């Protein structure tokens, strides 16, 4: 539907009056009214354009309006919009087959489809519990795994607090964070060693025989794009093997080319037992997520009930979008394109830290980077206390960034630079220039 001049004018107040926006105090909301999008750009109803520097919520990996995905959705819409999940279906099988190929297990894999990432994490935990007969699950404090009561409890960070007391059996631990070490060391190798020692101690106190799974983002996403130091993920895998604990990788953000590989586990060469995914699997065009289960575990459900189910499990429109998206990733060489983007990121964001003293740390890999802002580079005093009661000056700074034609999202002191994988170097440079100008403006207000 084309918006008329009148509906364009009324859309903003009407939205503000009637729509509840996630994770926000509603009264102060002030966002553009987005009308359409193409490639790496969003357009509002006034015709102003914004570079989508965070790919939505690290999800629109193919950029907006990719014709292969749109054609796949349109073709499916006229063929079959819905069939109950129990029915067999050609595209469901095709997508599951492709996921088994992208996954790291030579033995093969099967997929259970969900509507999004949080649901996928809850279902992965349920499967780990059913197969192991154990109950507990360990997740990192600096993690986000979803927001409904189950997944919200799995999340370690403060969005979990809204769920408390939450579901039982979830235990949190500290994982490495080289820039702000919870283990009091500046040496990454020592960070890895101490973090593994800490995890082992937590396991001892919880009784490893009662632990079904450890759930981890292979690269921490919305909690600051933390790349774990060498050896950590491998060490966690070894701990899991020693105690018969399943390792679940939450690849909701890291999947589908974000780190320069179909899944981050393949980039790091560490193999989990379950992979959860969402976001990039359809480039976020239609909601879809799922759990990929290695064949040796999936077999368990050949003679046991799989106690998971959703009305929209394997929804045909979402599956068609995933089918089209995977074709687009393959044909465009996009699973690996982030390796090229990574070189631009290092160059341009390295330049940004020279241009602005507010940049304390630039970290990431692939097309998955964050800039952490500080008030003092030497002391690393953060721009805003992490998980403090105030969001600090970041929201106002992101607003000035939008005025300069760039959308990005962030929390407290961290801005995520996670563009669509189709971004050009010139577009990225435009985004980083706008960021530099907004940081300069912010510096004057501090
Ligand atoms: C790592 C990770 N896991 C899970 C989720 C939750 O996914 P969804 O919002 O689709 O439930 C998110 C959302 O941002 C995420 O970043």
Ligand 1 atom with the shortest distance to the CA of 148? 11
225, 277, 278: residue to mutate for ligand 1 pocket, most atoms within 8 A of CB: 278
Alpha carbon distance 147, 160 (integer Å): 7
144, 217, 219: residue to mutate for ligand 1 pocket, most atoms within 8 A of CB: 144
Which long-range contacts does 371-375 make (Cβ < 8 Å, 24+ apart)? 371/414, 371/415, 371/417, 371/435, 372/179, 372/224, 372/413, 372/414, 373/413, 373/414, 373/415, 373/439, 374/413, 375/446
Identify the residues whose C-beta falls under 6 Å from ligand 1. Answer: 57, 116-118, 121, 144-146, 217, 221-222, 250, 252-253, 278, 289
Question: Which CATH number does the domain 5-60+333-445 belong to among 3.90.1150.10, 3.40.50.200, 1.10.1740.10, 3.40.50.10470?
Answer: 3.90.1150.10
What pLDDT is stored for residue 6 in this prediction?
Answer: 65
What pLDDT is stored for residue 9 in this prediction?
Answer: 77
What pLDDT is stored for residue 2 in this prediction?
Answer: 54
The Å distance, Cα 158 to ligand 1 centre, comes to 15
Residues of the chain with pLDDT below 70 are 1-6
Alpha carbon distance 193, 18 (integer Å): 51
119, 121, 122, 145: residue to mutate for ligand 1 pocket, most atoms within 8 A of CB: 145
Chain segment 272-310, per-residue pLDDT in tens: 999 999 999 999 999 999 999 999 999 999 999 999 999
Cβ atoms within 10 Å, residue 75? 12
What pLDDT is stored for residue 3 in this prediction?
Answer: 57
Q: Whose CA is nearest to atom 4 of ligand 1?
A: 145
Ligand 1 atom with the shortest distance to the CA of 251? 1
Q: Which residues have CB under 8 Å from 10's CB, separation 6+?
A: none
Q: Which residues have CB under 8 Å from 74's CB, separation 6+?
A: none
At residue 331, φ and ψ (nearest 5 deg) are -65, -30
What pLDDT is stored for residue 127 in this prediction?
Answer: 98
Ligand 1 atom with the shortest distance to the CA of 287? 10
The Å distance, Cα 252 to ligand 1 centre, comes to 6
Q: DSSP 3-state helix, strand, coil percentages of the chain (rounded to 5)?
A: 45, 20, 35
The Å distance, Cα 145 to ligand 1 centre, comes to 5
Mean pLDDT score across all residues of the chain:
97
Q: Whose CA is nearest to atom 3 of ligand 1?
A: 145
115, 220, 279: residue to mutate for ligand 1 pocket, most atoms within 8 A of CB: 279
What pLDDT is stored for residue 28 in this prediction?
Answer: 86
Nearest to 318 by CA among 281, 275, 276: 281
Domain ranges of the chain: 5-60+333-445, 67-331
The Å distance, Cα 377 to ligand 1 centre, comes to 31
Chain segment 388-404, per-residue pLDDT in tens: 999 999 999 999 999 99
The Å distance, Cα 440 to ligand 1 centre, comes to 32
Instruction: Look at the domain 67-331 and name its fold.
Output: 3.40.640
Pairing of β 406-407 and β 211-216: unpaired
């Amino acid at each position: 539907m084309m918006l008329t001049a009148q509906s364009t004018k009324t859309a903003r107040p009407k939205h503000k009056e009637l729509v509840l926006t996630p994770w926000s105090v509603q009264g102060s909301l002030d966002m553009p009214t987005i009308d359409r999008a193409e490639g790496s750009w969003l357009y509002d109803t006034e015709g102003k354009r914004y570079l989508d520097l965070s790919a939505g919520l690290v999800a629109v990996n193919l950029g907006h309006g990719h014709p292969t995905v749109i054609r796949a959705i349109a073709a499916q819409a006229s063929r079959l919009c819905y069939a109950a999940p129990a029915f067999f279906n050609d595209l469901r099988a095709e997508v599951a087959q492709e996921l088994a190929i992208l996954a790291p297990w030579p033995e093969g894999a099967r997929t259970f489809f969900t509507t999004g990432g949080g649901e996928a994490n809850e279902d992965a935990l349920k499967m780990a519990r059913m197969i192991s007969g154990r109950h507990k699950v360990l997740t990192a404090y600096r993690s986000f795994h979803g927001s409904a009561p189950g997944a919200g409890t799995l999340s370690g960070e403060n969005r979990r607090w809204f769920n408390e007391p939450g579901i039982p059996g979830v235990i949190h631990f500290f994982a490495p964070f080289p820039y702000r070490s919870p283990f009091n060391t500046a040496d990454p190798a020592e960070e890895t060693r101490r973090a593994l020692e800490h995890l082992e101690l937590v396991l001892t106190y919880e009784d490893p025989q009662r632990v079904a799974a450890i759930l981890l983002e292979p690269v921490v996403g919305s909690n600051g794009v933390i790349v774990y130091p060498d050896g950590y993920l491998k060490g966690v895998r070894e701990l899991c093997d020693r105690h018969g604990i399943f390792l679940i990788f939450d690849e909701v953000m890291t999947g589908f080319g974000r780190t320069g590989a179909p899944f981050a586990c393949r980039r790091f060469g560490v193999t989990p037992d379950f992979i959860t995914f969402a976001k990039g699997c359809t480039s976020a065009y239609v909601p879809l997520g799922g759990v990929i289960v290695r064949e040796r575990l999936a077999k368990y459900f050949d003679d046991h009930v799989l106690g998971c189910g959703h009305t929209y499990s394997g929804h045909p429109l979402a599956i068609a979008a995933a089918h089209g998206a995977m074709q687009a990733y393959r044909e465009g060489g996009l699973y690996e394109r982030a390796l090229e983007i990574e070189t631009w990121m290092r160059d341009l964001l390295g330049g940004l830290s020279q241009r602005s003293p507010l940049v304390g740390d630039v970290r990431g890999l692939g097309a998955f980077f964050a800039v952490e802002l500080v008030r003092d580079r030497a002391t690393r005093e953060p721009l805003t206390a992490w998980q403090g009661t105030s969001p600090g000056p970041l929201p106002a700074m992101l607003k000035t960034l939008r005025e300069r034609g760039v959308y990005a999202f962030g929390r407290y002191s961290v801005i995520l630079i996670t563009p669509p994988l189709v971004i050009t170097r010139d577009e990225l440079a435009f985004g980083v220039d706008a960021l530099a100008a907004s940081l300069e403006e912010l510096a004057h207000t501090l």
